[in-house]
Amino acid sequence: MPAMKSVTFDAHAILKFAQDEAGADRVEEFLRAAEQGRMRAYVNELNLGEVYYITMRRLGVESARLFLEQFSTLAVERIGASRQIIESASELKARHALSYADCFAAATALRHEASVVTGDPEFKKVEHLVQIEWI
């Protein structure tokens, strides 16, 4: 039996979903599949922190906190910055022109044999290393 499909959300995908922008429907499909147990979904806490500060800048601290509370109820496993993830993200950063935060999404995906869900064109630089689910 094949392994269950897994995805890792980067900040770009979460922000598109939160702001109901282009691509939000695709993110919602992944979230619904995770909720129904048809898929595993992950997010690195560093990427969630990125969403938090961007939301705080745009909409204020209360809206940012509310979003984090609501997001924590979804079937998305939060992955901490373990030594293994930090080393992998740092190696990606040293070799590729990718933001450090994006390296954490890629490292999380690699660690959990998952695809990265994103619309961020920066990920084209690592498409040969990690599968991308473009939104």
* pLDDT in the model for residue 53: 97
Q: Looking at the domain assignment, is residue 71 inside a domain?
A: yes
Distance CA 80, CA 106 (A): 14
CB 116, CB 91: distance < 8 Å: no
Domain containing 86 equals 6-134
Q: What pTM was computed for the model?
A: 0.94
DSSP string for residues in 15-33: HHHHTT-TTHHHHHHHHHH
* Mean pLDDT value across residues 97-125: 97
pLDDT surpasses 90 at 1 = no
Q: How many domains does the chain have?
A: 1
pLDDT in tens, 55-91: 999 999 999 999 999 999 999 999 999 999 999 999 9
48, 68 Cβ separation under 8 angstroms: yes
Residue 98 within any structural domain of the chain: yes
Rounded to 10 deg, the angle between the 100-111 and 45-59 helix axes is 140
Give Cβ neighbours of residue 50 (< 8 Å, ≥ 6 apart). 11, 101
Q: Examine residue 39 and state whether it is found in any structural domain, yes or no.
A: yes
- Angstrom distance (rounded) from CA 76 to CA 81: 16
Query: Is position 1 within any domain?
Result: no
Q: Assign residue 14 the CATH number of its domain.
A: 3.40.50.1010
pLDDT class for 29, splitting at 50, 70, 90? very high
